[in-house]
Structure 1
């Protein structure tokens, strides 16, 4: 009998253990489910910008090529051997300065002989004129003397011109390039010697679509930026339109435009690739956003707008908890029993200001939770890192400007605008 009771007790104990284990597992699983059901991921930090109407300067943007207003590759006009090179690379030369001297010994000797013959013929002409004046000379003798004097003078001028061709001079003031010849080299007419460029004023040639042709006019402001400066944000060179081609290219439907830009520091070089922007009249009250705020997808362009969470989505705000003032007696009975000799209540209140209830800082009202709302927009023109928004948002909306690749609609976020992603790191550091 005792053995039966022992076995029964052991079985009951095992059953209780099994029930406890199963109950604990069910309780644990239920608690885990409730924990994950009520758990919310931490808010993601984003940068935002508040949409405000602003002034907008539209423009026509294109790619252009820089050329010097005056630039030429100098060549020689006659044959000869290089005797002297009178310039060096990147030298600024004045107008009519001699750059190259060819061997001219033969031409100089011929010129000396021609000048001597010209003097002799001129003397013969004077003698013939004197005889004609005295009446002893014939007309034929005078005509011959005049013809000989004219021919010798023309020969002198011809040899002087040939002698001048042995020198290469600068047709205008500018900067010369690298010499393409050497001393002792034999040159023929057309051989390139050096390039000469006037770098003080540059011209830029670019093309725009025919749809934008009505927006352009002579004298309109033009700005240039170097290709590697980061787009239209840095365009330090200012100029104006000097010419618009009246004919549109039938194959490309583009029209050629030429502008002129001052280049006092010589930073622009002929043949250089530049970004061109023709500035149009300024417009007011335009809604624009940094281009980093706009996201493109197969369904359209959209932005994320930060809005307060609905009451069901956010945690209820905690009410401020009032604490009794310091020095108050917590165990004081409801009926104030003043000890003997205590001052009346009116005198006590006049002697000591009423204590105000202190508010616990930890229990101050929390800021409303913020969530994201995905809004599809219609973008317009772009300029200087900004994009015009035609439809979809209104003034006062707070739009996310960074981190869109990890955001989704309805996501909880926290705003931190200590860093502006639309500006470079150097601009941030200068603040």
Structure 2
């Protein structure tokens, strides 16, 4: 019995020792395999840092207004007798747009003109008699007063008739008629809108920190969300006060309408600031942000264990500056000539071996350079 027990213990020790030894051997082999295995090469694209001409700008939004635009309203009450325009007609300054019944005023005007003619005749007779000395000064003064009163009456009636004959105050495009023939309208009734869109105005707002950076005559570029219409212009007015509620300053710019801009339209506005030379700027895609800060990967030459030249990525923390479109200013951390990774960062770690392929770079300049390099290599004569 004791012999069997001893044999079982020995067998158990042998099995346990074998399992432990196998596990130790396996772990050693796995560790050795990974220690000797070279990490895969990561394919990336890069942008070369270089001083550029930085054209900063202020991005904001605004609304389009016609260079001249007004909602037309009636000046006097009456019945509409004529609407000589259709929607979207091009009308010239002074063209008749609406005629309100003026028969009563016309009759009164004819009567007043007759009275004026009589008063002028009597004035001429009184002047002639005064010269011959057969009329008193009082008679002449009465005739003069009567003529003046008659002229005023005629002018008043003519003005009243003008309020019922409505014309275009400027040339432009007329809108949809808001009144119909035979309709009775009161003073102030809107009857159409008139817009001259040859030149457009753009109203937008800037913060009180941005407002000192702009001035009258400064260039602006506006872009529409619909139709991708773009136009250039300049600032023509700056509100001399800051809105107490929004803390914003209203700015107005004037732009030539290339066609496609409509009053009331939403626009993206870029105020062009003075250009600066020697600024290091890169595509915003090169920057990776984390809790530790902003960083980029810079590709630098190195050597492997066998002494062969390789490319390695090194993570560098940077200080960012202004942004303009797709570019961001690099204030600190990147020098001119550095090759900065702009695509493939999610596969990288500091010290990773990389291969540069700029044929699919998001940076247009790098992609263009890569394409030209490939074309040159394809056109080169083959070596004999």
Using structure 1 for the length normalisation, give the TM-score. Answer: 0.71
2:109 corresponds to: 111
| 1:409 is aligned to 2:350 | yes
Partner of 2:109, secondary structure, is helix
| 1:241 is aligned to 2:235 | yes
Aligned partner of 1:168 among 152, 156, 166: 166
- Asked if 2 retains the 8 angstrom alpha-carbon contact of 1:385 and 1:422, the reply is no
| 1:156 is aligned to 2:135 | no
Map of 1:27-176 to 2, 5 A cutoff? 34-40=32-38, 42-133=40-131, 136-137=134-135, 139-176=137-174
| 1:300 is aligned to 2:293 | yes
More moved, 101-110 vs 234-243: 234-243
Partner of 1:239, secondary structure, is strand
1:313-341 per-position Cα deviation (integer Å, ceiling 9, x unaligned): xxx47xxxxxxxxxxxxxxxxxxxxxxxx
Map of 1:281-320 to 2, 5 A cutoff? 281-308=274-301, 310-312=303-305, 316=306
1:111-162 per-position Cα deviation (integer Å, ceiling 9, x unaligned): 2222223223333434444455555555555444433333333222221111
More moved, 46-55 vs 29-38: 29-38
2:314 corresponds to: 373
- Asked if 1 retains the 8 angstrom alpha-carbon contact of 2:47 and 2:363, the reply is no
- Asked if 1 retains the 8 angstrom alpha-carbon contact of 2:88 and 2:176, the reply is yes
2:178 corresponds to: 180
2:380 corresponds to: none
Partner of 1:122, secondary structure, is helix
1:172-198 per-position Cα deviation (integer Å, ceiling 9, x unaligned): 222222222222222211112222223
CA pair 228-132 structure 1, distance change in 2 beyond 3 A: closer
Partner of 1:211, secondary structure, is coil
Shift of 1:384: 2.7
Larger Rg belongs to: 1
- Asked if 1 retains the 8 angstrom alpha-carbon contact of 2:303 and 2:309, the reply is no
Using structure 2 for the length normalisation, give the TM-score. Answer: 0.79
| 1:383 is aligned to 2:324 | yes
| Separation (CA, whole Å) in 2 of partners of 1:260 and 1:25 | 80
Aligned partner of 2:263 among 245, 270, 286: 270
2:376 corresponds to: none
Q: CA RMSD in A?
A: 3.5
| Separation (CA, whole Å) in 1 of partners of 2:191 and 2:40 | 73
CA pair 395-423 structure 1, distance change in 2 beyond 3 A: closer
CA pair 144-32 structure 1, distance change in 2 beyond 3 A: same
More moved, 146-155 vs 184-193: 146-155
CA pair 275-121 structure 1, distance change in 2 beyond 3 A: same
Partner of 2:314, secondary structure, is strand
CA pair 215-296 structure 1, distance change in 2 beyond 3 A: same
The count of aligned residue pairs is 352
Partner of 1:418, secondary structure, is helix
Q: Which ranges in structure 2 are unaligned for 5 or more consecutive residues?
A: 1-20, 373-384
- Asked if 2 retains the 8 angstrom alpha-carbon contact of 1:93 and 1:170, the reply is yes
1:364 corresponds to: none
Q: Which ranges in structure 1 are unaligned for 5 or more consecutive residues?
A: 1-22, 318-366
| Separation (CA, whole Å) in 2 of partners of 1:41 and 1:106 | 100
- Asked if 2 retains the 8 angstrom alpha-carbon contact of 1:68 and 1:202, the reply is yes
| Separation (CA, whole Å) in 1 of partners of 2:60 and 2:23 | 71
| Separation (CA, whole Å) in 2 of partners of 1:211 and 1:190 | 42
Shift of 1:50: 1.3
- Asked if 1 retains the 8 angstrom alpha-carbon contact of 2:74 and 2:191, the reply is yes
Shift of 1:250: 4.2
| Separation (CA, whole Å) in 1 of partners of 2:148 and 2:328 | 78
- Asked if 2 retains the 8 angstrom alpha-carbon contact of 1:292 and 1:401, the reply is yes
Shift of 1:283: 1.5
- Asked if 2 retains the 8 angstrom alpha-carbon contact of 1:50 and 1:396, the reply is yes
2:381 corresponds to: none
